[in-house]
Amino acid sequence: MAAFAQGLNDVGYTEGQNVLIERRWAEGHYDQLPAIAADLVHHRATVIVAAYLPAALAAKAATVTIPIVFISGTDPVESGLVASFSRPGANITGVSVLSTPLAAKRLELLREVVPTADRIAIIVNPSNPNSVAQLKDFQAVASTLQQKIIVANASTEAEIDNAFAALVQQRAGALLVGADAFLGGRRSQLTDLAARNAVPAIYSSRVYTAIGGLMSYGAYYPDLFRRAAQLVGKILRGAKPADIPVEQPTKFDLVINLKAAKALGLTISPSLLSRADEVIE
């Protein structure tokens, strides 16, 4: 939210002065999103900003007139949000992270750190429509690499505990945590379980490595929210979402936590360290 506010400031809008921000949180409970979107429509929001695919789909279903700006981790064309990247159409545009293809890159990085892992697990939230695409991409790359995988679903805190118990029982040598808002909100639980069970893991965002996760690879999320705010500024100045191309990040950060690697008994190669955008010691 701080990055979003800064993005608004960059284009001449300051909360409390010439713009009002109404915040609504589902806290990972995606079934609440339709009601939240309907409430914002009822209160005649000027623009709705929808963070991540489930919220964007709920907002699109709730209105065809109020402009919507999304931040999504999947292909917005495939998911039905927009007609195309260059000409979104209708009342919606936004920033697309395209995190689904990044699952393949994360698997490759994980194999580089733990080349002896016989089985690699992935945890996804089945409540998120994006999980299907993430799994498909992950499984395709795993098949190409002849990598055995374990798939675990988790959409509650208890299911996260159960998923870890299952992957430990099945002797997973490493773990990939899918990109998902609910899982991101439970990052302390996930990184603690990974450390406690000595499972090397890679995550979608630096927020995990900052609190002790082994490594992460993905877009810098504050920048995505800042760019989304700038799109909001264009709409407030009269631009139509249908005419504003969907933006995509061009830079992805690899972050490695050496303290976590040491605790796991792992040695990170100089080659991988040299490619890291940030090394936490």
2-97+220-243, what's its fold? Rossmann fold (3.40.50)
In CATH, what class is 99-218+253-280? Answer: alpha beta
Residues 6+ apart with CB under 8 A from 49: 4, 68, 69, 70, 71, 228, 229, 232
The model's pTM: 0.87
Q: Is the dihedral of CA 24, 70, 135, 254 positive or negative?
A: negative
Using alpha carbons, select from 225, 224, 199, 227 the residue that is nearest to residue 212: 199
* Pairing relationship of beta strands 92-96 and 174-177 according to DSSP bridges: unpaired
Which residues belong to CATH 3.40.50.2300 in the chain? Answer: 2-97+220-243, 99-218+253-280
Per-residue pLDDT tens digits of the chain, which is 281 residues long: 899 999 999 999 999 999 999 999 998 889 999 999 999 999 999 999 999 999 999 999 999 999 999 998 888 998 999 999 999 989 999 999 876 668 788 999 999 999 999 999 999 999 998 888 888 888 988 998 899 999 999 999 999 999 999 999 999 999 999 989 899 999 999 999 999 999 999 999 999 999 999 999 998 888 999 999 999 999 999 999 999 999 998 789 999 999 999 999 999 999 999 999 999 99
Token pair in block for residue 62: 């709730």
Q: How many angstroms separate the CA atoms of 217 and 237, rounded?
A: 35
